[in-house]
Amino acid sequence: MSNNFIENQNWRYATKKFDASKKVSEQDLETLKEAIRLSASSYGLQLYKVLIVENPEVRAKLQPASWGQSQIVDASHLFVFANITDVQESHIDDYLENIANTRGLSVDDLKGYGDFMKGNLVSLPADKKAVWTSKQTYLALGNLLNAAAELKIDVTPMEGFEPEKYNEILGLNQLGLNASLVATVGYRHEEDATQHYAKVRKSKQELFQTI
């Protein structure tokens, strides 16, 4: 692993105050989107959608549902990771078709794999499905954080919001989606004192145990 990666991880922090005058370029935005698209996901299913909210009016509506945090309206972009709440056979069939088209296979060749996934996922209770798909969004967030740090773009992952209100404002319920987590993306304000704080983490001796 390059030293640059570790340096970038030391550079990044949860930005508290964004510079509203600075915007992420379209080129960098496409890089961040590609990093999310390439994220690891259980079975490769990617059972979520990522909404990139630019509209200032919509973001103003979301701010009260985000504990009033300024990042929601000041950051260049607002990413909302929304998990599919109820996994259906159709989601798996769509994935199998994508595999077949991408790798030049027949869908029939993938029937065993499809049946395996359906047997494990479709029959789960609704609440367990929602929890499982929600966890997948955190894997995607990890790629966003790492790619953004490499580009020296600030990202603040946020769980401090009201999912039900986000779902209502963004019309997610009708789409079978639920706002799982939020990330504000942009550039730190020079007045954000948090950027100067020393990073606090557990020591390697405390965090790791070799067995």
Does 109 map to a domain?
no
Strand runs labelled E in 28-76 = 48-53
Average pLDDT by stretches of 10, the chain with 211 residues: 86 97 98 98 98 98 98 98 97 98 97 97 96 98 98 98 98 98 98 96 98 97
Does 79 map to a domain?
yes
Q: Cβ distance 32 to 147 under 8 Å?
A: yes
The domain that holds 79 is classified in CATH as: 3.40.109.10
Does 23 map to a domain?
no
How many independent structural domains does the chain possess? 1
CA dist 110 and 66 (Å) reads 43
Does 142 map to a domain?
yes
H and E: helices and strands count for the chain: 9, 4
Does 20 map to a domain?
no
Does 2 map to a domain?
no
Does 101 map to a domain?
no
The domain in which residue 50 lies consists of 29-87+124-188
Does 52 map to a domain?
yes
Q: Shortest CA distance to 158 belongs to which of 144, 177, 173?
A: 144
